[in-house]
C-alpha cells in the first residue's frame, strides 16, 4: 500500500512517521504529474511546493488554521491531502475539481483565488477576522512583483502573531523573474542576520529555510513561526518543477501545461511573429507584457528586438501605465496581456490611455471561453468593460490571417485599440478575407441582400459556431446570412441600417450585459427611425461560467451552433 493511500485528511499526515513524509511527497508528485499530463494544468509551480504543503499540514491544524494560496496554482498537493484524491482525476474537467482553491469544493479552502499577488491582503483580512486561527499565506512564482502584494505588506506590520507569510523563492514568475525584487530576495538570503534586524525594526519576524525540499527544516521553521510574537515571514528556497526532469529544465513551458496541438497555428504565435516583422520596419514599435512572454507569444519579438521588449513582472497596471508613457514619448507600444488579467489594469486603461487618447494597442489573448481554468480565467468581460470607454476601438479577428491583417492595419491607427482573440488557433477556416477598415464588418453583400435573417458574430469562437449554424439553416431552407462583426466598437452602422427590416441574431465571445449585442440593440433604439428590427442577443448571461472544454461551456451557456440554429428557427 502506498503512503498516500493512508491519507484521507490532514490529520493523517500528522500520524505518519517522519521517514514516511518523504515517500508521501514523492507519491504526491507522481499523482500530480500523471493527472496534469492528461488533463492539463499547472505543473511546475505545484511540483515545487510539495514539501512546503506537506509541512504545512504536519504543523498547522487546517481548517481551523487557514491556508491561502497566492494565485492558487500551487494547491494540487493540498487538494490531494484534504480528501479530494479520488476526484483528482477530474481536475479541470467539466463538473470536476477546480485547478484553483474553491470554498464550495472543500472546507479546507478558505478563499477562491486565481490571480496573483492577492495573498498578503487576504492574509491581513482573515488574520484580523480570525484571531484564534493561524493564518498562513503561501506566495511565490513572482507574485511579489505585483503591486498589490506591497500594499498588503505595508499593512502586515499592524497584524498580530497569527499571521504567517511563506515566501516560496524559486527565482521564477511564469517566465524568469525580472526587476528589483529578485535582487532584494537574494540580498535577504545573503545576510540573514541583517535581514532579521531590518525586518525586526519594522515589526516582523524573519525565518530562513535554505532547502525548501527538506521537510524537517520546513517543520522546524513553521513551529518557530507559530511561537512568534508578531507577524512572521518564512523565506524558503525551492526548485520550480522539482522531481520531474522536463519541468525542472523548462519550468516556463510546464508552468501551465496543455497537450501540444502541432497542426494548429496559434493566435499568440502569429502575434509574436507579426509584431517582430513589423518592428523590423518600424523602430517605434515596442512590445510589453506582464510576466507572460511565452504565453502571449512575444518570445520571437524579445529575441529579435530585445531593446524594445519589456517584461515588467506580474504588474499589469504598471505595464499599461508605462506603455502610456512610451506613447507620450512618441512610440507605438503593444501590450500583450490575457483578457482576465487586463481587468487588473482597468484604471490605467481609462485614466492613462483612453482619456489621453494614446496609440496603445492591447493584444488581448485568451479572450472568450478558456478551457479548464474556470471562472477566474474566462475572458468574457473585456468587450463590455472596454466598450464604454472613450476613444478606444475594439477589433475581434475571426482567424489568424485576420489577426495578422489587423496588426498591420493597427500601425497607422493613432488611438487606443484592443485586438482580442482566443487561446490556441482559430476554431474554423474561412475562404473569405477582406481588408481591415475601422468599423467595417466582413460579409458577402449578395448573401446579405437575399437573407431574411442575419447572424452578426463577434469574435473567433462565435464566428466559428455561427458559420456552422448558417450552413445548416440554409440546408433547412432558411434564408440566412453570416456577418463577421470584427469590430465590436465602432459598429458598422451602414450595414445595420441596411438590414433593419430583417431578423437579426447577435452573438459574441463575451457577456451580454454591456456587450456587443446590446450595442446593436441600442443603435436601433437611439436612431431617428420608426423601424426597430427583432434582435436576438446570444452571449454569456450574468453569472459564473463553468470549468470545462470550450465546446462544453458554449453548450451549457447556449452560445454554440445548436443555440444559434434554434434562434434562427424561432
> What does the pLDDT average to over 166-171?
90
| Predicted pLDDT of residue 570 | 86
Q: Report the C-alpha gap between 222 and 212 in whole angstroms.
A: 12
Is the CA virtual torsion 496, 498, 504, 509 positive or negative? negative
Q: Tell me: cis bond preceding 68? Omega within 30 of 0 counts.
A: no
Query: What percent of the chain shows pLDDT beyond 70?
Result: 98
**pLDDT by residue (tens digit) across 216-255?**
999 999 999 999 999 999 999 999 999 989 888 887 777 7
Torsions phi, psi of 166, nearest 5?
-95, 120
> What does the pLDDT average to over 91-106?
94
Q: Report the C-alpha gap between 168 and 235 in whole angstroms.
A: 7
Query: Does the pLDDT at position 491 exceed 70?
Result: yes
Residue of 259, 291, 287 lying closest to 273 (CA atoms): 287
Q: Report the C-alpha gap between 423 and 173 in whole angstroms.
A: 20
Residue of 289, 254, 287 lying closest to 45 (CA atoms): 254
> What does the pLDDT average to over 378-387?
97
Helix or strand (DSSP H, E) at 546: none
Strand partners, 235: 167, 208
What mean pLDDT value characterizes the chain? 94
**pLDDT by residue (tens digit) across 112-168?**
999 999 999 999 999 999 999 999 999 987 888 889 999 999 999 889 899 999 999
Task: Identify the weakest region by mean pLDDT among 87-91, 199-203, 461-465.
Answer: 199-203
Strand partners, 334: 287, 361
**pLDDT by residue (tens digit) across 511-548?**
999 999 999 999 999 988 887 889 999 999 999 888 89
Give how far Cα 523 sits from Cα of 115, 337, 508, Å. 36, 30, 16
| Predicted pLDDT of residue 523 | 96
> What does the pLDDT average to over 415-428?
95
> What does the pLDDT average to over 175-195?
76
Sheet of 535-540, strand order: 442-443, 480-484, 453-458, 503-511, 535-540
Give how far Cα 295 sits from Cα of 35, 460, 527, Å. 22, 19, 43
Q: Which of the residues 58, 79, 332, 344 is marked catalytic?
A: 344
What is the Cβ-side half-sphere exposure of residue 408, based on CA atoms within 13 angstroms? 13
> CA 297, 334, 550, 565: dihedral to nearest 10 degrees?
-130
Q: Which of the residues 27, 51, 252, 316 is marked catalytic?
A: 316
**C-beta neighbour count of 444 within 10 angstroms:** 14
- Is 537 in a helix, a strand, or coil? strand
Cell for 251?
A: 519550468
- Is 189 in a helix, a strand, or coil? helix
**pLDDT by residue (tens digit) across 35-53?**
999 999 999 999 999 999 9
| Predicted pLDDT of residue 258 | 77
Query: Does the pLDDT at position 561 exceed 60?
Result: yes
Query: Does the pLDDT at position 346 exceed 70?
Result: yes
- Going by pLDDT thresholds of 50, 70 and 90, the confidence category of residue 172 is low
| Predicted pLDDT of residue 158 | 82
Buried/exposed 27-50: b ≥16 CB within 10 Å, e otherwise? bbbebbbebbeebbbbbbbbbbbb
Q: Report the C-alpha gap between 526 and 543 in whole angstroms.
A: 28
Q: Report the C-alpha gap between 323 and 5 in whole angstroms.
A: 52
- Going by pLDDT thresholds of 50, 70 and 90, the confidence category of residue 175 is low
240 is catalytic: yes
DSSP label at residue 94: T
| Predicted pLDDT of residue 414 | 98
**pLDDT by residue (tens digit) across 18-39?**
989 999 999 999 999 999 999 9
316 is catalytic: yes
- Is 103 in a helix, a strand, or coil? coil
Query: Does the pLDDT at position 261 exceed 70?
Result: no
Q: Report the C-alpha gap between 28 and 24 in whole angstroms.
A: 6
Burial, 500: exposed, middle or buried (Cβ in 10 Å; 0-12, 13-18, 19+)? middle
Could you tell me how many residues make up the chain? 570
Residue of 495, 510, 503 lying closest to 421 (CA atoms): 510
**C-beta neighbour count of 18 within 10 angstroms:** 10
| Predicted pLDDT of residue 176 | 64
Query: Does the pLDDT at position 69 exceed 80?
Result: yes
Query: Does the pLDDT at position 204 exceed 80?
Result: yes
Q: CB of 539 within 8 A of CB of 512?
A: yes
Q: CB of 370 within 8 A of CB of 510?
A: no
Question: Using N-to-C axis directions, what is the helix angle for 50-59 and 215-227, rounded to 10°?
Answer: 50
| Predicted pLDDT of residue 173 | 55
**pLDDT by residue (tens digit) across 265-294?**
999 999 999 999 999 999 999 999 998 999
Domains, the chain? 3-252 (3.40.50.970), 267-420 (3.40.50.970), 442-569 (3.40.50.920)
Query: What percent of the chain shows pLDDT beyond 90?
Result: 83
Selected residue with higher pLDDT from 248 and 356 = 356
| Predicted pLDDT of residue 189 | 77
| Predicted pLDDT of residue 174 | 58
Q: Which of the residues 29, 84, 92, 240 is marked catalytic?
A: 240
Amino acid at each position: 500500500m502506498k503512503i498516500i493511500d493512508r491519507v484521507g485528511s490532514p490529520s493523517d499526515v500528522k500520524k505518519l512517521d517522519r521517514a514516511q513524509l518523504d515517500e508521501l511527497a514523492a507519491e504526491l508528485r507522481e499523482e500530480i504529474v500523471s493527472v496534469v499530463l492528461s488533463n492539463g494544468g499547472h505543473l511546475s509551480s505545484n511540483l515545487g511546493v510539495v514539501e512546503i504543503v506537506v509541512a504545512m499540514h504536519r504543523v498547522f491544524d487546517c481548517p481551523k488554521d487557514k491556508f491561502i494560496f497566492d494565485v492558487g496554482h500551487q494547491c494540487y498537493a493540498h487538494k490531494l491531502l484534504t480528501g479530494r484524491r479520488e476526484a483528482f482525476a477530474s481536475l479541470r474537467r467539466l463538473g470536476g475539481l477546480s485547478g484553483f482553491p474553491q470554498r464550495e469544493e472543500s472546507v479546507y479552502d478558505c478563499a477562491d483565488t486565481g490571480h496573483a499577488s492577492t495573498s498578503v491582503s487576504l492574509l491581513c483580512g482573515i488574520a484580523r477576522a480570525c484571531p484564534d486561527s493561524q493564518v498562513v499565506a503561501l506566495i511565490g512564482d513572482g507574485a511579489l512583483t505585483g503591486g498589490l502584494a506591497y500594499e498588503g505588506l505595508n499593512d502586515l506590520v499592524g497584524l498580530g502573531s497569527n499571521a504567517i507569510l511563506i515566501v516560496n523563492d524559486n527565482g521564477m514568475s511564469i517566465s524568469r523573474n525580472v526587476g528589483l525584487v529578485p535582487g532584494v530576495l537574494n540580498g535577504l538570503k545573503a545576510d540573514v542576520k541583517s535581514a532579521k534586524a531590518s525586518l525586526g525594526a519594522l515589526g516582523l519576524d524573519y525565518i530562513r529555510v535554505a532547502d525548501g525540499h527538506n521537510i524537517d527544516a520546513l517543520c522546524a521553521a513553521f513551529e518557530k513561526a507559530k511561537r512568534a510574537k508578531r507577524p512572521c515571514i518564512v523565506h524558503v528556497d525551492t526548485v520550480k518543477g522539482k522531481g520531474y526532469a522536463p519541468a525542472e529544465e523548462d519550468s516556463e513551458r510546464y508552468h501551465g501545461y496543455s497537450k501540444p496541438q502541432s497542426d494548429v497555428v496559434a493566435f499568440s504565435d502569429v502575434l509574436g511573429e507579426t509584431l517582430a516583422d513589423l518592428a523590423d520596419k518600424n523602430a517605434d514599435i515596442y512590445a510589453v507584457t506582464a510576466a507572460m512572454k511565452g504565453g502571449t507569444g512575444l518570445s520571437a519579438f524579445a529575441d529579435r528586438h530585445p531593446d524594445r521588449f519589456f517584461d515588467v513582472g506580474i504588474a499589469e497596471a504598471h505595464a499599461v501605465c508605462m506603455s502610456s508613457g512610451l506613447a507620450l514619448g512618441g512610440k507605438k507600444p503593444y501590450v500583450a496581456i490575457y483578457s482576465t488579467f487586463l481587468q487588473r489594469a482597468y484604471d490605467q486603461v481609462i485614466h492613462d490611455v483612453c482619456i489621453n487618447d494614446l496609440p496603445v494597442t492591447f493584444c488581448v489573448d485568451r479572450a472568450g471561453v478558456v478551457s479548464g481554468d474556470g471562472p477566474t480565467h474566462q475572458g468574457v468581460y473585456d468587450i463590455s468593460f472596454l466598450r464604454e470607454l472613450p476613444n478606444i476601438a475594439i477589433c475581434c479577428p475571426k482567424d489568424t490571417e485576420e489577426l495578422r491583417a489587423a496588426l498591420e492595419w493597427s500601425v497607422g491607427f493613432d488611438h487606443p485599440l484592443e485586438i482580442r482573440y482566443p487561446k490556441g488557433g482559430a476554431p474554423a477556416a474561412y475562404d473569405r478575407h477582406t481588408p481591415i477598415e475601422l468599423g467595417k464588418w466582413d460579409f458577402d453583400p449578395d448573401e446579405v441582400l437575399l437573407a431574411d435573417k442575419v447572424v452578426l458574430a463577434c469574435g473567433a469562437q462565435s464566428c466559428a459556431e455561427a458559420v456552422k449554424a448558417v450552413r445548416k439553416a440554409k440546408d433547412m431552407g432558411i434564408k440566412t446570412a453570416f456577418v463577421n462583426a470584427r469590430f465590436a466598437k465602432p459598429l458598422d452602422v451602414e450595414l445595420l441600417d441596411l438590414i433593419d427590416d430583417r431578423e437579426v441574431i447577435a452573438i459574441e465571445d463575451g457577456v451580454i450585459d454591456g456587450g456587443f449585442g446590446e450595442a446593436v440593440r441600442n443603435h436601433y433604439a437611439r436612431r431617428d427611425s420608426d423601424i426597430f428590427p427583432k434582435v436576438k442577443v446570444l452571449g454569456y448571461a450574468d453569472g459564473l461560467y463553468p470549468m470545462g472544454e470550450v465546446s462544453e461551456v458554449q453548450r451549457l451557456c447556449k452560445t454554440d451552433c445548436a443555440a444559434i440554429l434554434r434562434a434562427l428557427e424561432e
